A = this chain, B = another copy of it.
Amino acid sequence: MSPRNKVCILGSGNWGSTAARIIAENVTKLPSFDNTVKIWVYEEIVDGKKLTEIINTHHENVKYLPGHKLPHNVVAVPDAAEVVKDATHIVVVIPHQFIQHLLDTIHGSTRPDARAISLIKGIGISNQGMTTMTQIIHRTLAIPVSSLSGANIANEIAEEKYCETTIGCSDPDEAIVWRSLFNTPYFQVNCVNDVIGVEFCGALKNVVAVGAGFIDGLGLGNNTKAAIIRIGFLEMRRLAMHISGAQIQESTFMESCGIADVITTCYGGRNRRLAEEFVKTGKSMTQLEKELLNGQKLQGYLTAGEVHSYIDSRGVNDHFPLFTNIYQICYEGKPPHSIFDGLNVDFSNDTRTPSPAL
What is the interface of chain A, defined by CB distance below 8 A to chain B?
151-153, 156-157, 159, 161-164, 185, 188, 190, 192, 220-227, 229-230, 233-234, 250-251, 254-256, 259-261, 263-264, 267-268, 340, 343-344, 346-349, 351-354, 356-358
Name the residue of chain B whose CB is nearest to the CB of A183.
B344
List of B residues within 8 angstroms of A349 by Cβ: 356-357
Name the residue of chain B whose CB is nearest to the CB of A358.
B348
List of B residues within 8 angstroms of A190 by Cβ: 344, 346, 348
Complex Cα–Cα for A268 and B112 (A): 53
A263 contacts B229, C-beta separation under 8 Å:
yes
B224 contacts A163, C-beta separation under 8 Å:
yes
B348 contacts A192, C-beta separation under 8 Å:
yes
A254 contacts B268, C-beta separation under 8 Å:
no
List of B residues within 8 angstroms of A356 by Cβ: 348-349
Complex Cα–Cα for A124 and B273 (A): 41
Q: How far is the CB of A22 from chain B (nearest CB, A)?
A: 14
Cross-chain contact of A267 among B224, B256, B267, B348 (Cβ < 8 A): B267
Q: Using A153-B221, A251-B348, A348-B356 as known contacts, list a sample of 17 further A-B pairs with CB atoms less than 8 Å apart, ordered by residue number in A.
A: A151-B223, A156-B222, A156-B223, A161-B221, A162-B223, A163-B223, A164-B227, A188-B227, A188-B344, A190-B348, A223-B260, A226-B263, A229-B263, A230-B255, A230-B259, A234-B254, A348-B357
B161 contacts A223, C-beta separation under 8 Å:
yes
Cross-chain contact of A264 among B152, B164, B222, B260 (Cβ < 8 A): B222
Name the residue of chain B whose CB is nearest to the CB of A228.
B162
